[in-house]
Amino acid sequence: MFLPLFAAAQQKPDWAFPLADKAQPPTQEDPAKLHTAPGSTLSLTRVQIDDIYNVPDWFPDLHPVMPKIVQHGNQQTKVRACGSCHLPTGTGHDESAWLAGLPISYFMRQMADFKSGDRKGSGTMTTIAKAISEEEIKAAANYFASLPPRPWIRVVETETVAKTYVAKGNKRLRHPDGGAETLGNRIIELPEEEEIVLNRDPRSGFIAYVPVGSIDLGKKLVTTGGDGKTDPCAMCHGETLHGSGDIPALAGRHPNYIVRQLWNFQHGDRSGDSNEEMKIEISDLTLDDMLVIAAYLASLAP
């Protein structure tokens, strides 16, 4: 059963804001090792995979041709390639964000909010937004808006989860020593296939482990507003939660990302003019409400 927490537990949820652990398990990987993917012509070292000015394009057929800013960034202005963290398919990792199909005007507004400081919570995006040109933002926004959704997150209700650690790049991974622990009131997102995700290969995505019962609880809040606690999200995010006008889709997105954003709206870290409606919607939500909402949204087809 999903056990509600008490108000005292409303601390910033570190599971939704992953930060690399200070003590890292020893890495065994040989730096000269060449990584491959079946059906791809590429064969790359870890350093090449992590080159933030040259995104590994394992499967060019999975997406349109990337504009320069998405594939190579801009070395002159030190704007890193968007595709490195968000992937050429725009489906992203849990510690970054899903960008596929975001409305162009919403996308542009987020870049402006990161730049002005109205949107906080990502040092990387603030730095990028301050250095990137208007033309480059437009090229990236158009590219990501054109990308179709793909199944990316599998939600699993569970009481226990593998022991994990947060690796460099703020990426949560299974602990190499193995073992399991109680999930508690958290969402733990892990790669479906660790090697594929670490290779920034867009073939497969993530499993989101959520507390037992949370999908149904989330469905009630999202679809009814929970007896006045909030409003049905479909009022603004589209009948099927796949977006409406310049309001983004919520279905099938990384649940930890959704919790981060709800938390940020509530705590003033997303405070632009366009956030007024969301601030009202989430003012009465507890962290557990945010968790179950995110679990349900992630369980929907993107």
Piece of 37-45, 92-100, 181-189, 205-213 that binds ligand HEC (CB under 6 A): 92-100
The rounded distance, in Å, linking the Cα atoms of 111 and 12 is 24
CB-nearer residue toward ligand HEC: 85 or 295: 85
Nearest approach, Cβ of residue 92 and ligand HEC (Å): 8
Q: Which of 52, 46, 42, 43 is nearest to 31 (CA)?
A: 46
CA distance 252 to 296: 9
For ligand HEC, the closer of residues 21 and 231 by Cβ is 231
236 interacts with ligand HEC by CB under 6 A? yes
Residue 223's closest CA among 276, 287, 297, 126? 297
207, 293, 295, 298: residue in contact with ligand HEC (rule CB under 6 A): 293
Q: At a CB cut-off of 8 Å and minimum separation 6, what does 272 contact?
A: 109, 112, 113, 116, 118, 119
Taking CB under 6 A as the binding criterion, the range among 7-15, 149-157, 159-167, 275-283 that sits at the site for ligand HEC is 275-283
Q: Is 110 in the site for ligand HEC (CB under 6 A)?
A: yes
Site residue total, ligand HEC (CB under 6 A): 46
Q: Say which amino acid occupies 296.
A: Y
Sign of CA dihedral 16, 20, 21, 22: negative
**Distance in angstroms (rounded) separating the CA atoms of residues 119 and 34:** 39
* 172 is an interface residue for ligand HEC by CB under 6 A: no
Contact residues for ligand HEC, defined by CB under 6 A: 69, 79-80, 82, 84-86, 95-97, 99, 102, 106-107, 109-111, 121-122, 124-125, 128, 132, 140, 222, 230-231, 233, 235-237, 247-248, 250, 257-258, 260-262, 272, 274-275, 277-278, 281, 293
